[in-house]
Amino acid sequence: ANATPVYVGYMAGGRHTDGGRLTNYHCLNDIPQYIDSTTADENGGLLWIVEYRTAGYGVNSLDGISGQKARCSVCEVAAHSQQIVIPGTATCPGGWTEAYDGFLFGSYYSGHANSESVCIDRNAQGYTAGSPDGGEYSLIYPIEFQSYDGASPYTHDRELSCVVCTK
């Protein structure tokens, strides 16, 4: 698809150890602008930079970004006013145009709170900054399907693909 970046930035979400964490991820602009705020530590709602956890989680092609921080972009697709994310496939339905395909990511299954799932591009790149792997971050992992009874066509323990489609 002919996507034009509106802005690029840093992916942020709730910290993996916080029980009351925010459940959706945000793409923070590269250039912060603050309106009437302080640097005092009030600890209301908290956002943390997202760090990839890919090594050993079934998506070998993305092992190289494990422990790196996640970049993001918000794009405009000319002449396309609708967008859908379809988990479990890498192909758009007829009449839809693929923006990108990749893997479904979310919080660790036994984490302290829920998170939304996001479709991470199969060619995702990370960046290194701040402390090395294991710091205080929001962590995202590939999501795998679970089914012990074979009641669906999806394979147990298989990481899910996803596709972002526009129309």
Encode pLDDT of 49-68 as tens digits.
888 999 999 999 999 999 99
**Would you state the structure tokens that stand for residue 52, as one six-digit string?**
């990839």
Most confident range, picked from 8-17, 111-120, 129-138: 8-17
Contact 151, 82 (CB under 8 A): no
Which of 57, 31, 52 minimizes the C-alpha distance to 125? 52
pLDDT at 19 exceeding the cut of 90: no
Contact 126, 72 (CB under 8 A): no
Query: 73: number of CA atoms within 13 Å, CB side?
Result: 15
> What residue ranges in the chain does DSSP mark as E strands?
3-13, 26-29, 48-52, 69-77, 83-87, 97-106, 118-121, 126-127, 138-142, 161-166
Average pLDDT over residues 156-165: 90
Q: How far is CA 97 from CA 81, 82, 123, 138, in A?
A: 12, 10, 18, 31
- Predicted confidence band of residue 78 (pLDDT cuts 50, 70, 90): confident
Task: Please tell me the predicted confidence (pLDDT) of residue 131.
Answer: 55
How far is Cα 75 from Cα 66, in angstroms, rounded to an integer?
25
The pTM assigned to this predicted structure is: 0.75
Using a 10 angstrom Cβ sphere, with 0-12 exposed, 13-18 middle and 19 or more buried, the burial of residue 13 is: buried
Contact 101, 30 (CB under 8 A): no
Work out the mean pLDDT of the chain and round it to a whole number: 83
Task: Please tell me the predicted confidence (pLDDT) of residue 137.
Answer: 77
**Would you state the structure tokens that stand for residue 32, as one six-digit string?**
């912060």
